[in-house]
Amino acid sequence: MSGVMQKMMKQAQKMQAEFHKTQAALAEKEVEGTAGGGMVKIVMDGNGALQSVKIAKEAVDPDDVEMLEDLVAAAIRNANEQVKKLSDDSLGAITGGLGLPGF
């Protein structure tokens, strides 16, 4: 293997190691998505795994279940947006914004 190719392989291995390290760090961070002025709160870790759901009593109206469903969906979307930003910020530093598959 040529010296250039070996250097590229070492750099790719280093990027992959940094990627895995960053993913582990993201798993320890939390984001909170909210809706309805905080009546519904969704907590996810930095990798997007759902950690908890909190629903205020005043958000529960048996005659309007659809509103609660909409609030939960909105809070999940909000949390997912925050996870994506956190991930993009963290992983973008590794790949230099190249969007490499697998990184």
Sequence ranges of the domains in the chain: 3-95
54 pairs with which residues across the strands? 41
What is the per-residue pLDDT for 103?
47
What is the per-residue pLDDT for 22?
85
H or E element at residue 5: helix 3-27
Across the range 17-38, mean pLDDT stands at: 91
Across the range 3-15, mean pLDDT stands at: 87
| The pLDDT of residue 9 is above 50 | yes
78: CB partners within 8 A, 6+ apart: 33, 34, 35, 42
- One of 3.30.1310.10, 3.30.70.1430, 3.30.70.20, 3.40.50.1820 is the CATH number of 3-95, namely 3.30.1310.10
- What are the start-end ranges of the E strands in 1-103? 30-35, 40-45, 50-55
What is the per-residue pLDDT for 50?
96
What is the per-residue pLDDT for 15?
85
pLDDT tens-digit readout, 35-75: 999 999 999 999 899 999 999 999 999 999 999 999 999 99
